[in-house]
Structure 1
Amino acid sequence: MKRNFKVLMLLLLLAFASCSFTTKTFSDPDKDKLLVQVITFVLQQGHFDPIELNDTFSGNLFDSYLEVLDPYKRFFYESDYREFDKFKTTIDDQLKVSDITFFNITYQRFMQRIAEAKETYREVLAEPFDFSKDEFVDTDLQKSEFAKNKKELKERWRQQLKLATLPNYDDILTEEEQKKKKDPSYKMKSEAEIEKEAREATLKSIDIFFNDNLEDQDREDWFAMYVDAIVSEFDPHTYYLAPKNKEGFDERMSGKLEGIGARLQKRMDHIKITELITGGPAWRSNELEVEDVILKVKQEDEEFPVNLVGMRIDDAIKYIKGPKGTEVTLTIKKMDGTTKDVTLIRDVIEINETYAKASMVQKNGHKFGVIDLPSFYVDFNDYKKINAAADVKREIENLKQEGMEGLVLDLRDNGGGSLPTVVEMAGLFIKDGPVVQVRSTGEPKEVYRDRDRSISWDGPLVILVNELSASASEIMAAAMQDYKRAIIIGSKQTYGKGTVQNVLDLNNLIRNNSSGDLGALALTTQKYYRINGGSVQLEGVKSDVKVPDKFSFIDIGEKDKPNALPWDQIDAATYTTWDNYFDYDEAIKKSNQRMANNEQLKLIEENAKWLKQQIDKTIEPLSYKKYKEKLALSDEESKRFDALTKYETNLTFESPQYEKQLFNEDVTGLKEKRDRWHASLSQDVYVEEALNVLEDLKASYNIKKVAKVKE
């Protein structure tokens, strides 16, 4: 892949150089126009599946960019939209000649509407809300039309601000009632005082949002959003990194994780948690989950929280991150629609907590190992120093010394990582042979092989996956499935990301650039394929044993992303399935029978359906009575799923002996972290079933081997 990337860079540089000698196209002193020239050129020449800049592209970009600017239709009027509409089929023509008229017009109008909106929300929040009035608001404003006039837009702001103030009102009232209960002589604040205080909290929060985020952004920031909207039309994983964001990108790639220990992503107007870093404050709290939405953030020294709704991801992170030891309170919206405050103490995440870890468990006289792998990590500066394959190999050797008879490799929530690392890791379980195929546009496919005939583990192997297992995780699971080397247990399919990205520093493409830093572009340059020829793009890896989980009915995979590249296939590589005595088909059959009758899984599926129903509800009450009724109903309905957290397997997990020795000199809290992990494993129905399958494979191995000997 590195060779292909270097070839791409060389071709782009040569093409750019030739263009610059024959035309003035690539020497425009206007930085914005130069950036558009560079971006459109690179996309057309370097993207795996470049799309034509035509009227269809223009219309799609028009819609998606306005949605980025004003997703909840709180700023623009219908008249603005009509004015913009004349550009709907001409943005492509503008881009071809580096014309940024569309951006300039929308930017200037947006700045005007932001200033007007500030006056509007202050007018709204200057008047008391009547929480006794029986009214509702539809929070799915994407399907709404733009407001026709100021009165209509002000009413839209009123409804949204009233909805935002309701939780504040409830918090203050609840606090007053608790004070009264604790001290009967306490004189509670009046309803009017509580309403005013709640409204002031909303005003404080939205003022911060406007001052620190909307008004504090300069033209360059907004233009970067426009460029990102352009490149995102090509696929979900091609994105623009503005100069000021490259530092944060480099930090994320280096593995420096600090703050609350969670990876965040902006989806529409919301900041969602996409990953919890093992050992971090968010993970330790036991109160946060993937797909939780962070609505507000409050610092320990501030009275009012900051509303994150509508905020850019980089700006939101500034509020969430902070020095080690400081306190931050997050207002979280759960998938079931309920909200809660979670207070965390920020910390520096120990990098080794994001590495592979292993555990031993005894079941019916058999010893099995479990290896949890959060990602296919690697030290890009020194591959031999740190890489996931070497760590997993070391854990396997340790587990073998303790008598391991079967292995569970847990790739759930593993979003991927290094391609060479996954190729090397697959080689731990097969003699040699192809692992993955990679194709670039117009180039013959490349087959990445394991060439080391040594095998670290030739015994029973089960791999756990879910909808968040992506990229390198899918390569690993697919290869083991195609070789019939492992049984895959998990969701109906994995994430479905079958593309490869490389990051281009755009400044390297311009000779004698005097316009300033142009930033970088993460560009989809290749697709990878299973050794059987099929892509994992969109379809992911289908589990051998399909089990429901909380994401079963939620749109979370690649197939649910806009502009995702299509599924396709190429010729299969030449490979031979694993030669062993394990009866995979019988083990899969038995597992499916057990899973069909598992009460815990039935409850998990019911919960997943209920969560989907809660997500789909967009009509929210604006009266306090109905608001409380909705909360009470949601709490009551959710009680039937309390059993999910009380499930026990009666299995005891322990650290390998080498790790137990480290506990004696434990200064990092390693034992506490492992105890928590082991406790979660003992409540994990998926791990329990993986161990059942290992037992079945072990039994079938003995039977078939005896039969072979008798022959």
Structure 2
Amino acid sequence: MKTRGPLLFSALLLVFALLAATLPTDRVDVPPGDAPSVILRTMLANLENYHYQPVDIDDDFSERVYDEYLNDVDGARLFFTQEDIDAFSQYRHAIDDQSKAGEFTFYDLVQDRWMASLDKTQKWYEEILAQPFDLEAPGTFTDRDETSPWPADDAELKQYWHDYMKRDVVRQLADKREEIAQDTTGEEFPSLDSLETEFRADILERYQDWFKRMRDMKPSIKRGQYLNSMTAVFDPHTSYFRPKDKESFDIQFSGRLEGIGATLQTDDEYTKVTSIVVGGPAWKGKELKEGDVIMGVKQTKEEMVDIKGMPLEDVVDKIRGKKGTVVNLKVRKPDGTIQNVAIERDVIIIDETYAKSLIIDDEEGQEKIGYINLPSFYADFENADGNGRFSAKDVEQEIQKLKEQNVDGIILDLRNNGGGSLRDVVDMTGFFIPEGPVVQVAGRGSNKEVLKDKDRRVQYDGPLVVLVNQYSASASEILAAALQDYGRAVIVGSNSTFGKGTVQRFIDMDRTIAGHNDVKPLGTVKLTMQKFYRINGGSTQLRGVVPDVILPDSRSLLETGEKEQHSPLAWTEIDPADYSQDVYRIRHMDSLQARSARRVAASPTFTRIEQNAQRVKRQRDRDSYPLALTEFETLQQAARTEAEMYEDLFDDVVNPGVLNLEVDLEPILADESKSARNDDFKQSVSKDVYIREAVNIVEDMIRLEGTGAEKVGYQE
């Protein structure tokens, strides 16, 4: 079963903040019913009342939900046949009426058929994997996806399962035989038949575990998937969150959680520790280790609870807790010994999500360039009392530290930054301009609001480059677009940013209906309430932000972005805002672009990146594979030989003078784990050709704009 779960688009969220528009105080009237019925009708009522562009709950809606849900449940075409689809088709135009009534008739039928298919296909794969594959039998396997037709009958579906698993065995054998061919130790390896037997056994174990997880999936998770097939009809970023899903989102968004600092996964009937968060409580305690199996959980003054067979999210819920409280774990070590481990919970900071800076000391050009990496526009709204981390505040501190080092320019890296807090992006844009508009927001009914930086301070008034790529989305696009429209920064990156120009807000559904206390909490709906627009009036929706300087990218030929999502809202435009700035205006953009183009054309690395883009596109488009081992090995070897041509693309150090700021060194060197992560960070920056070109552009700005740019001093 595919899961379009609520966290699928969480990285592309733009949190609704600073907006004058508020939700109406009227509550929706939902008739009595069980929890699923109340949740469904409340969700639809909220979508109808508050979504930016509500969808009529009619036959068209029904058709779209029908297709969305079946593709979500079985997008790989592994479980249903045309016979199942024929049984479902009677409800193709009935889901709208069922939804209004709070009924799940279509959902129930799909679930019944899906569970029956689990039983059927499990017997098939057990039967198939019980016998050796004919490794040289001819044949071709073609991947199926949601654009593929459904298998006509059980015979076709069973053959697909056979080929599906044979492809897996053949791929593993090809990998192992390549490893054996390259071995120089003289080690004796198992025969081909023995390896084939071993890999079939491994696949059987993996499939047994997968099917058990599917069977044990909580009903609330499966219903949530169905509800999200409905929200997906409205737009890609509207979704339903169960209470636990919202809690997980808050952790991801804030970059902090309270717990023991361990990553867990289901292992047979129990829960296994797969990793320990460096610096967290479990890491400090030194008793809980990777590979340990948790058998029981005990809270202070309570009995030990046996977690055998317990869903993973319930185990996690029992282990998580408030800072300062103690959880006791009954643990089976890899050697079979049983141990009780007591861990005091604490706040775990996921510091990779936070802003950090370096200095790139370019000895050739004798310039000192500041570099700020911002992974997301994070904001800890749950701890707004001063203890929470906010991206704008952190970036302001990094700017100040860089200024104290007398940098000649700054690079702000927003690559792969999927967005976040709207309040923070407005504040952050204001660091580079005097007071003025940053973004326009239009809600339902075309009511427009201009969000402005109202602080006349300019934290940084020098040369600025903003790095983006096709995964820079939402808040990243607001900042890049505003600084581009103001002529304040040079935007550098791939063909275009992601193209998400919509604003979401979380609505606690409990607060939108009266009564129904017996079935609360209902969960949360994240819905699109507004679209944002550049200050020049254009939208970033679908089109994104086109950089001033476009650099070759290995993924530039792949179809990505908002336009590739299901049901995206359309591109529109409104009147421009009144904006201007005289802090630092780029007056030689043509020259900057021409100089960069000459460097890129002369760069062997960028030439190879363009060639690699063609290879990546060919590999992404491939969906058919030979099933005969020898043919598969020939194809794989050709693909690997071609890939090896580009493995050293980013091996060379192109930024030799990458330095930490002195003020940051003490806490880094005092923590072994921080020091190791810092070394990795610096090494990645030193080999990044995109940062190298950004440095070159900053140096060009210094030379070209140094005397021609209008600069006015602003009080800090």
Question: TM-score, normalising length from structure 1?
Answer: 0.81
Q: How does 1:390-469 map to 2 (within 5 A)?
A: 390-442=393-445, 444-469=447-472
Distance 1:376 1:234 in 2: 25
Cα 1:178–1:352, aligned 2, differ >3 Å: closer, same or farther?
closer
After superposition, the C-alpha distances for 1:298-342 in whole angstroms (9 at most, x for unaligned) are x8579xxxxxxxxxx998x99xx999x9999xxxxxxxxxxxxxx
1:352 matched to which residue of 2?
A: 351
Indicate if the aligned counterparts of 1:582 and 1:698 stay in contact, CA closer than 8 A.
Answer: no
2:527 matched to which residue of 1?
A: 523
Cα 1:458–1:247, aligned 2, differ >3 Å: closer, same or farther?
closer
Indicate if the aligned counterparts of 1:468 and 1:494 stay in contact, CA closer than 8 A.
Answer: yes
Distance 1:189 1:543 in 2: 54
Indicate if the aligned counterparts of 1:135 and 1:623 stay in contact, CA closer than 8 A.
Answer: yes
Cα 1:327–1:546, aligned 2, differ >3 Å: closer, same or farther?
farther
Indicate if the aligned counterparts of 2:499 and 2:545 stay in contact, CA closer than 8 A.
Answer: yes
Distance 1:365 1:3 in 2: 42
> Is 1:77 equivalent to 2:77 in the alignment?
no
Indicate if the aligned counterparts of 1:652 and 1:678 stay in contact, CA closer than 8 A.
Answer: no
Distance 1:279 1:587 in 2: 43
Distance 1:705 1:146 in 2: 62
Cα 1:244–1:587, aligned 2, differ >3 Å: closer, same or farther?
closer
Cα 1:101–1:56, aligned 2, differ >3 Å: closer, same or farther?
same
Q: Secondary structure at the match of 1:533?
A: coil
1:704 matched to which residue of 2?
A: 708
> Is 1:109 equivalent to 2:110 in the alignment?
no
2:165 matched to which residue of 1?
A: 161
Q: Secondary structure at the match of 1:182?
A: coil
Structure 1 or 2: larger helix share?
Answer: 1
> Is 1:496 equivalent to 2:507 in the alignment?
no
User: How far is 1:202 from its partner?
Assistant: 0.9
> Is 1:536 equivalent to 2:553 in the alignment?
no
Identical-residue share of aligned pairs (%): 34
After superposition, the C-alpha distances for 1:395-443 in whole angstroms (9 at most, x for unaligned) are 2222222221111111111111111111111111111101111121025
1:226 matched to which residue of 2?
A: 226
RMSD of aligned residue pairs (Cα, Å): 3.4
Distance 2:83 2:374 in 1: 53
- 249-258 or 601-610: which moved more? 249-258
Question: TM-score, normalising length from structure 2?
Answer: 0.81
User: How far is 1:59 from its partner?
Assistant: 1.5
User: How far is 1:551 from its partner?
Assistant: 2.1
* Paired residue type of 2:456: R
Distance 1:279 1:612 in 2: 37
User: How far is 1:143 from its partner?
Assistant: 4.1
After superposition, the C-alpha distances for 1:38-90 in whole angstroms (9 at most, x for unaligned) are 12111111111111222222212111111111112222221221121122122
User: How far is 1:167 from its partner?
Assistant: 3.7
* Paired residue type of 2:236: P
> Is 1:630 equivalent to 2:629 in the alignment?
no
Q: Secondary structure at the match of 2:546?
A: coil
Cα 1:595–1:75, aligned 2, differ >3 Å: closer, same or farther?
same
Distance 2:639 2:333 in 1: 29
| Gaps in structure 2 of 5+ consecutive residues | 1-15, 264-276, 281-289, 294-310, 321-328, 335-346
1:201 matched to which residue of 2?
A: 202
- 388-397 or 641-650: which moved more? 641-650
1:335 matched to which residue of 2?
A: none
User: How far is 1:444 from its partner?
Assistant: 2.0
Cα 1:261–1:538, aligned 2, differ >3 Å: closer, same or farther?
farther
- 393-402 or 486-495: which moved more? 393-402
Indicate if the aligned counterparts of 1:434 and 1:449 stay in contact, CA closer than 8 A.
Answer: yes
User: How far is 1:259 from its partner?
Assistant: 11
Q: How does 1:215-294 map to 2 (within 5 A)?
A: 215-256=215-256
1:270 matched to which residue of 2?
A: none
Q: Secondary structure at the match of 1:578?
A: coil
Cα 1:221–1:378, aligned 2, differ >3 Å: closer, same or farther?
closer
> Is 1:473 equivalent to 2:485 in the alignment?
no
* Paired residue type of 1:7: T
Distance 1:61 1:354 in 2: 35
Distance 1:65 1:447 in 2: 38
User: How far is 1:205 from its partner?
Assistant: 0.7
User: How far is 1:650 from its partner?
Assistant: 5.2
- 665-674 or 106-115: which moved more? 665-674
1:620 matched to which residue of 2?
A: 625
Larger relative contact order (CA 8 Å, sep ≥ 6): 2
Distance 1:2 1:157 in 2: 49
Cα 1:602–1:3, aligned 2, differ >3 Å: closer, same or farther?
closer
- 217-226 or 399-408: which moved more? 217-226
Distance 1:528 1:360 in 2: 34
Cα 1:535–1:95, aligned 2, differ >3 Å: closer, same or farther?
same
Indicate if the aligned counterparts of 1:487 and 1:588 stay in contact, CA closer than 8 A.
Answer: no
Cα 1:51–1:15, aligned 2, differ >3 Å: closer, same or farther?
same
Indicate if the aligned counterparts of 2:442 and 2:449 stay in contact, CA closer than 8 A.
Answer: yes
User: How far is 1:32 from its partner?
Assistant: 2.3
| 1:589 alignment partner, one of 569, 590, 594 | 594
| 2:390 alignment partner, one of 374, 387, 392 | 387
| Gaps in structure 1 of 5+ consecutive residues | 21-25, 263-277, 282-298, 303-312, 329-347
* Paired residue type of 1:435: V
Cα 1:123–1:429, aligned 2, differ >3 Å: closer, same or farther?
same
* Paired residue type of 1:511: A
After superposition, the C-alpha distances for 1:418-477 in whole angstroms (9 at most, x for unaligned) are 111111111111111011111210252111111111111111111111111111111111
1:341 matched to which residue of 2?
A: none
Cα 1:454–1:632, aligned 2, differ >3 Å: closer, same or farther?
same
* Paired residue type of 1:223: R
Q: Secondary structure at the match of 2:442?
A: strand
